[in-house]
């Protein structure tokens, strides 16, 4: 099986490099950073270049394309020109979807839980109402739509907050929180924003298994088992790391000016588990992540 990965230098991409390179013919694409890509078959590649993308597909002829590359941070998208965000997150995704169709490749796309309407009580199923509030979330939803219109063999993974340690240059909120608490510094965490966090190593493992499975044309909630706030994640980090819980200051997202309120995009993950992609409780997962660090 030949697998092409976009975003190989990203937070998730670097875990995918490690997971996928073992038993598959694998090519990882990076752009401005290399991350761990130098350890694997990889090339520097701008996925906005339609002509070169077409040549790449013609040469490599992937059986599966895992498309993770994008402007992935809502706060960064908010500072960019709208067309620039669309050019990468939507237009490049549409080109990849068309090429997957032309070359009979299966497309696995990492979307986001932030496409859902997060104003309710959470534990959202795949058919729940959509209401992307940020340019980032809107562009990821438009990416989903472009894929559904242009590709006849896809899996869309509505991905939750990814927890675990970033490799090389990559950092996420989990990693930063761990470092602050470990060094005895105070950290403020929201008590009123709920997600279903998914461990990076699990996400990469599940994507590896989805490459092999005959799942097709499905949207799947790609999260963990439990609905938790960032505050609760911080408390679990303290318990597993042996850090002082008094370092955590509970805050409300309502008190931070300019922040877009998405109170609860926790997801029901029965569909994911139905494919045999099962997980432990979040406290055990965090314990394992910290023990293996
Ligand atoms: N992290 C999360 O908690 C989370 C939550 C929900 C959904 N997701 C989704 O999961 C996926 C992975 O997220 P992530 O956190 O791993 O993202 P990330 O760390 O920001 O990585 C983004 C990747 O996109 C690449 N990229 C950017 N511009 C490019 C271009 N013009 N051409 C080619 N590659 C380009 C980057 O390459 P360089 O770094 O080399 O420039 C990097 O490898 C994304 O689709 C995101 O929407 C993530």
Q: Does the C-beta of 10 come closer than 6 Å to ligand 1? A: yes
* Pocket probe mutation, ligand 1, options 72, 112, 198, max atoms within 8 Å of Cβ: 72
Q: What was the pLDDT predicted at 24? A: 83
Mean predicted confidence (pLDDT) in 246-261 = 90
- pLDDT over 70 percentage in the chain: 100
Q: Does the C-beta of 48 come closer than 6 Å to ligand 1? A: yes
CATH number attached to the domain at 2-162+198-222 = 3.40.50.720
Atom of ligand 1 nearest to the CA of 34: 40
Mean predicted confidence (pLDDT) in 42-67 = 98
Q: What was the pLDDT predicted at 22? A: 84
Q: Does the C-beta of 69 come closer than 6 Å to ligand 1? A: yes
Mean predicted confidence (pLDDT) in 264-282 = 97
Q: Does the C-beta of 72 come closer than 6 Å to ligand 1? A: yes
Atom of ligand 1 nearest to the CA of 140: 47
Q: Is the pLDDT of residue 153 over 90?
A: yes
Of the listed ranges 44-48, 74-78, 256-260, the least confidently predicted one is 256-260
Mean predicted confidence (pLDDT) in 218-227 = 98
Q: Does the C-beta of 9 come closer than 6 Å to ligand 1? A: yes
Query: Each residue of 102-127: pLDDT tens digit?
Result: 999 999 999 999 999 999 999 999 99
Q: Does the C-beta of 140 come closer than 6 Å to ligand 1? A: yes
Q: What was the pLDDT predicted at 55? A: 98
Find the 10 Cα to ligand 1 centroid distance in Å. 5
Q: Does the C-beta of 221 come closer than 6 Å to ligand 1? A: no
Query: Each residue of 189-217: pLDDT tens digit?
Result: 999 999 999 999 999 999 999 999 999 99
Atom of ligand 1 nearest to the CA of 9: 43
Q: Where do the structural domains in the chain lie, given as residue ranges?
A: 2-162+198-222, 165-196+226-266+280-291
The CATH classification of domain 165-196+226-266+280-291, taken from the options 3.60.130.10, 3.90.25.10, 3.40.50.2300, 3.30.43.10: 3.90.25.10
Q: What was the pLDDT predicted at 283? A: 97
Q: Taking all residues of the chain, what is their mean pLDDT, rounded to a whole number?
A: 97
Find the 30 Cα to ligand 1 centroid distance in Å. 10
- The answer, as to whether pTM is greater than 0.85, is yes
Q: Do 2-162+198-222 and 165-196+226-266+280-291 agree at the fold level?
A: no
Q: What was the pLDDT predicted at 256? A: 84
Atom of ligand 1 nearest to the CA of 136: 47
Find the 239 Cα to ligand 1 centroid distance in Å. 30
Q: Is the pLDDT of residue 257 over 90?
A: no
Mean predicted confidence (pLDDT) in 153-169 = 98
Mean predicted confidence (pLDDT) in 135-162 = 98
Q: What was the pLDDT predicted at 220? A: 98
Instruction: Supply the residue whose CA is at minimum distance from atom 9 of ligand 1.
Output: 110
Q: What was the pLDDT predicted at 259? A: 81
Q: What was the pLDDT predicted at 260? A: 83
Q: How would DSSP label each residue in the chain?
A: -EEEEE-TTSHHHHHHHHHHTTTSEEEEEESS--TTGGGSSEEE--TT-HHHHHHHHHHH--SEEEE--S---HHHHHHS-HHHHHIIIIIIHHHHHHHHHHTT-EEEEEEEGGGB-TTS---B-TTS-B---SHHHHHHHHHHHHHHHH-SSEEEEEE--EESPPPTT---HHHHHHHHHHTT--EEEESS-EE--EEHHHHHHHHHHHHHS---SEEEEE--S--EEHHHHHHHHHHHHT--GGGEEEE-GGGSTT-----B--B--HHHHHTT-----HHHHHHHHHHT-
Q: What was the pLDDT predicted at 27? A: 97
Q: Is the pLDDT of residue 288 over 90?
A: yes
Q: What was the pLDDT predicted at 244? A: 98
Q: Does the C-beta of 103 come closer than 6 Å to ligand 1? A: no
pLDDT band at 184 (very low <50, low <70, confident <90, very high): very high
């Amino acid at each position: 099986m030949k697998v092409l990965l976009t975003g190989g230098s990203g937070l998730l991409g670097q875990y995918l490099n490690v997971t996928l390179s073992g038993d598959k013919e694998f090519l990882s694409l990076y752009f401005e950073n290399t991350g761990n890509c130098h350890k694997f078959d990889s090339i520097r590649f701008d996925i906005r270049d339609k002509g070169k993308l077409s040549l790449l597909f013609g040469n490599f002829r992937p059986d599966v394309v895992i498309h993770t590359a994008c402007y992935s941070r809502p706060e960064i998208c908010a500072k960019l020109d709208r067309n620039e965000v669309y050019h990468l997150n939507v237009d490049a995704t549409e080109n990849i979807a068309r090429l997957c169709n032309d070359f009979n490749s299966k497309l696995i796309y990492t979307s986001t839980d932030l496409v859902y309407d997060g104003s309710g009580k959470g534990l959202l199923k795949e058919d729940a109402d959509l209401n992307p509030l940020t340019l980032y979330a809107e562009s990821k939803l438009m990416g989903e739509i472009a894929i559904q219109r242009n590709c006849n063999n896809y899996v869309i993974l509505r991905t939750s907050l990814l927890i675990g340690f970033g490799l090389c240059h990559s950092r996420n909120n989990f990693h930063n929180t761990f470092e602050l608490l470990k060094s005895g510094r105070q950290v403020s965490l929201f008590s009123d924003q709920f997600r279903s966090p998914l461990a990076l190593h699990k996400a990469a493992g599940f994507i590896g298994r989805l490459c092999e499975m005959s799942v097709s044309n499905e949207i799947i909630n790609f999260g963990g088992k439990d609905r938790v706030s960032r505050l609760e994640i911080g408390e679990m980090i303290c318990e597993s790391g042996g850090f002082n819980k008094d370092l955590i200051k509970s805050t409300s997202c309502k008190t931070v000016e300019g922040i877009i309120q998405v109170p609860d995009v926790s997801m029901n993950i029965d569909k994911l588990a139905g494919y045999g992609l099962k997980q432990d409780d979040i406290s055990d997962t965090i314990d394992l992540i910290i023990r293996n660090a």
